[in-house]
Structure formats: C-alpha cells, structure tokens
A = this chain, B = another copy of it.
C-alpha cells in the first residue's frame, strides 16, 4: 500500500529533467544565477521553453530543485543527526544550532537561495522546504517558550535568515557578526521572560 504514490515519471521526462538540471547548474556556476535567462537554460539543455516551465513552474522552482540535495542533507542532520542539531539536546540549544546551521547553508548558496525565495512574490513561503524549517522551529519554540505563540513567532525568526536579510548582514558586517546576531536573536527569544508581576 505504501510505495510509488506519484504515478511514475515517463522516460523522456526523466531524461529532460536531468538535462535541465545539469545545464542549469553549469550555467549558474559559470555566469551567476542572476544573469542566466530561462531561455538560455532551455537552449543549453536542448529542450523547449515549455518543457522547462512545465517541469519547474518558474525560475524559483528551478533554483529550489537545484538546492534540493543540499537541503535534504541538512534535514537529515536535523531529524537523525547528533545533538544539538539532531534530537537529544534541550530545545533552546537545538534552536541555536539550527539557526547557525541554516544561516551557514543560506550564505553558502546565497544567490540560488535568493532566487528560490524571490523569483515570484511570496515564493519563499510556498516552497516545501520552508514548511519543514518552519515546523521544526515552531515545535522547538513551543517547548522552549510555552508562553509564546510558536507558529507565527517561528515565521518571525526565520525572517532574519532569509536570503535577502542574511546577505545584507554578511555584506555590511561580515559573516562573524551576522552569525553572532542571529544567535543573539534566537537566544533572546528562546528564554522564558522574567515574570513581570505588578509593575508594568
């Protein structure tokens, strides 16, 4: 009953998907993500434009597909790696570890991630991977700060490590201060507030 739920992929489709991903990876590496047009990718891959868009939806989808492997790696380390990134450590520590690792991931593929987040408006929140990060953070946050509204707060924290923001932080202050800032933010939020009994 389990198994190949998605009703298979036709042979020509698989072949073309590989051709496109290979061509896109090469072109992006050569000329930079920004300056490669979808026409150029289609031409280099030897497929029609329609094929390209049918398969990947838009430019952000193509970028997301290229990031997929790296993403899965980080997801695995979260789900079953060693603490504090993986299970076993206190929620606060796991949050800090996740944000540090995620920031490193984003900065390591900045242009691709930016493209995957900004090609179409709101793209960031529709990507499957974002749901995963959001869920992960929300669960940890609910544990570390049971008094807070974990789901929306998770969006708010993740905003600080979007490609645009992470890129500006590194460009203006350097990778070290960027990382320290994210850590500071996350630690500030993941501690229970002092009780503010009585006086305002």
Contact = CB atoms under 8 A, between A and B. Distances in A.
Contacts of A148: 184
Given A159-B160, A189-B185, A191-B194, A152 B169 contact: yes
A7 interface: no
A168 B189 contact: no
A187 B193 contact: yes
Contact of A188 (B122, B159, B193): B193
B155 A159 contact: no
Interface of A: 34, 114, 118, 121-122, 124-125, 148-149, 151-153, 155-157, 159-160, 162, 164-165, 167-169, 172-173, 177-178, 180-182, 184-185, 187-189, 191, 193-194
Given A122-B167, A122-B168, 11 more contacts: A34-B121, A149-B177, A152-B173, A152-B178, A152-B181, A153-B181, A155-B168, A156-B169, A156-B185, A159-B165, A188-B189
